[in-house]
Structure 1
């Protein structure tokens, strides 16, 4: 009989060895620090570090909220089919089809946000020893779940200033152990769209690699740039999992609902995963999402135009500051300025801004070592807050000397 003190059994921790890499999300470190400073000092912090909308100007369209309330009053508060309401899956299939990836209901899974779709897909696809090619800089939760699944993260360095993939380098990173390539377009944290998708698709087909295409800012691409999905590239529909969400396009971050489209075998496996974990996305939330997707889209266009104006305002202000250069991103609600001219590292400047000027940004190194020399700034905030935050950053960098 084995006892707690038997040889060979550690009593130091009850945690699984799979949790050894567990740390709080790096991209939220600035937010945790900024909120602590507010609590302890009472000083008002300008939050440009949060990956969310702020202020009353950013609210879901009225017809979305009305659909959610009506669904609750109508009794849509029970379990529903795991993969999602049929009518919502049909609407999502139509959305994916419009992007150039012909899609049927059976190829759609409604998830608890895009993050849960990414989690489920990685835990479903990655075996021990599999390699996943990951953009650097990239989105940290993907690394987290690749590691948890026993996979190995292989970093593909993105090339500045537009953070594009080096196709030759990407080719060298792929081998018979490569299982997955992760794309994010528009990219987090820099907002640039991914180009040369046909060439990337050819590499994936040649090496039998599945693509997870994270497209959460698909409707936040500013003309003349346009959103494109690798799932529409010839030969890539069956080997791409397209992931999107209602959070960004429809300002529904707190609703926690997203979706993914892929081949039926993968979607079936992920549905089994979902039904054995969260069961299903709440029915009333799905009704709100259905209203968002099938109702008037003028609110989406108005939000995009509002954000474009804020992007331009932010880029212009940053480029006028000493030691900072800021390219104009294609989409998202982030900018990723180069701050190397200040003489500070990304973390040093981030800490300095929070501690001495009460403005929160995210160090670029939260997204990988290729983020060094950059900070991420969110501009989906009221204009007066944005202006004050940018003014505090200006004062900070002008006084560094």
Structure 2
């Protein structure tokens, strides 16, 4: 069963250069507006119990898509269908009256969801408890901070498990503690079969929570699929926007972007001079990045790497700039290499390596070659003490 079906969905807005142009258009046959296309030809389906993450730049059309699915605005073309009880948390404070208290706004929100007075009275204590805003629950929400507003909004929207939960980026406003609390509730809903559709700029949340991701760019759905692949492609688009980069998808070798002034040829992990793709916790390793310049006299050439865990969280990254090792001998066509030495103080699991060659301390300055997921490796249990987490720390215990 499909909980959400979207077919050729589009949304256009009329924009007027001057406020009085609306009046002139109303009394004449002339057209004074220009059409602004926000969404165009969007099609996808979401199955029951599936979790979908929507990513894209600000202004790409993500929030407009959510407003269409929740009935806040109507489409200009195409159609959509949402089956089941829907709960939504969109813009901060949407649907709340600023002069009413948190309690009163919660009551009104529940009434609009079709609950009777008896049901509302039984739900309100849970809302107050989850929001954790204390005495402010009985005060006008005009006095609320943005964080308190999102606490109340999320508590109301998730007070009863919906069949479809739609969440915009509002959760990014909350503090870390409340964000963790919210995602715990969302994960619990997912286990119980709720279909989740949410917008987020947090790669870790998308990879950890979602079965599939949609990438929207300039109002169009340009890519959908596995969250890892979509987020890699999105990162390449981000790099492209910083300069005139050419993006290319390399089959089975991650996604690369850059202006081509430097080309990275090989990325390899070594233990005792032997290439490996599995290492033990705490083992000393050498990461070698081979590259060659496509032009002479590159200023401030920097080579660096980033280690990510299996869901895309950034674990550690550094580069030759941060390490104070200047590269000044890059010559066109001559292969060079940079070796990084470190102890793999990582938890057992699968990790990926992203490498980059750029100018200065960051690829934002001038990206020569960015290679997302250039390679992967396994960390297996070693002789160190047992521990949990992603980092191994040398710990001693003293009992007094």
The structure with more helix, counted as a fraction of residues: 1
TM over 0.5: no
* TM category, shorter: under 0.3
Q: TM-score, normalised by structure 1?
A: 0.26
The structure with more strand, counted as a fraction of residues: 2
| The structure with more radius of gyration | 2
Q: TM-score, normalised by structure 2?
A: 0.26
* Higher RCO, Cα 8 Å, sep 6+: 1
